[in-house]
Chains A and B, each alone.
Chain A
Amino acid sequence: MICEALSDQMPAVARGDVVWDAEEALHFAQCAECRDEYALVAAVLSSARPAPVLDLDRIAAAVSAVGREEGKVVAIASRRRTWTRGLVGLAAAAGIALVAYSIRTDDPVAVAAVPARTTTAIPELDALLEDELKIVLASLTEEQKTLTPGPIPRLGELTEAELDALLDDVEG
């Protein structure tokens, strides 16, 4: 069994990565089988092709660049998903606001008093006119309309580009 244990270590010993412990060294000195095998391993290593000269830092930089590039794609994709979820949430919130708005405008007394822009429960929607709220609502699929709206994204958290995209969506 100790022959096998030594055999397992021979490449590492021949390379100088490990050294025999006392028991292994004693066995090695007395076992012709192990010495023959070690002679083979050492001969193969010494006659092996010299390691090619590689610029590992250049390789690492290139690998990192690919990771950065493709990591960015992943980040954008997941951000887009978040953004879509945000829009759905916002649109769902708009639906709720519009319903609330409609209920209020059903009151004949209120109709005359309600200005074109009214205050809603969602500050970001306050700036939208009724028609604009309807557009947002119309952008919801049936499935989305039945969703319970999650946390409403704050427009202040969106980037300028995302705000532009939202405005394009709302304004057509």
Chain B
Amino acid sequence: MTSLAADLPNDPDLVAAWRQGDEFAATQLVRRHGAALGRYLSSGGADSGDVEDLVQETFIRAFRSLHGWRQDGSFRGWLFRIASNLLKDGFRARRGRQMVALEDHDLVASADPASQFAADETAERIQAGIAALPRLQREVFLLRVEQGLEYAEIATALDTTPGAARVHYHHAVRRLKELVQ
């Protein structure tokens, strides 16, 4: 593997600076993780008009409970855990809404209607397959693929172990692979 990312201050350093009142550190953390949290909240079913407020609330809750973050755990995983709790609160408040339906998704445009149809069909099958997965498998798979979280971060986010997260991911992949063949 060859990383294309530049060397940047790591999360624990930024969090330590944030705790000391360094507002630029807070800004860097928001810029680093805000978009992924937005995608997660959005694909988790949050109303599009609420996503920005939910991302903001995630960081504010994180700030208020920084003392509760274990330095040995992943800060990003912890942020996702807070976001996940916000989603659950939202679901409870709205009596459980399901994931956003596929027709709401903007699919990649294609000049070829036939291949577009095939792509739509595949995407639809995949989304239906993801929705049909057991909850933990679905959440692990989406955090891994859509958000790019490492297993350790997923473990923090979903309160499980990295090993269990890996097993859930591979179960999900085995089920879904058949849908794209």
Contacts and interface: CB of A to CB of B under 8 A. Distances in A.
A52 B39 contact: yes
Nearest to B41: A52
Contact-residue bracket for chain B = 35 or more
Interface string B111-134: 000000001001100110010000
Contacts of A59: 30, 34, 52, 55-56, 59
Interface string A55-87: 111111011101110110000000000000000
B164 interface: no
Given A52-B38, A54-B35, A66 B60 contact: yes
B100 A40 contact: no
A110 interface: no
Interface in B41-67: 41-43, 48, 51-52, 55-56, 59-60, 63-64
A63 B122 contact: no
A63 B4 contact: no
Interface string A36-54: 1101110111111111101
Interface of A: 7, 9-12, 14-21, 24, 36-37, 39-41, 43-52, 54-60, 62-64, 66-68, 70-71
Interface of B: 1-5, 18, 21, 23, 26-27, 30-31, 34-35, 38-39, 41-43, 48, 51-52, 55-56, 59-60, 63-64, 100, 102, 104-108, 119, 122-123, 126-127, 130, 144-146, 148, 170, 173, 176-177, 179-181
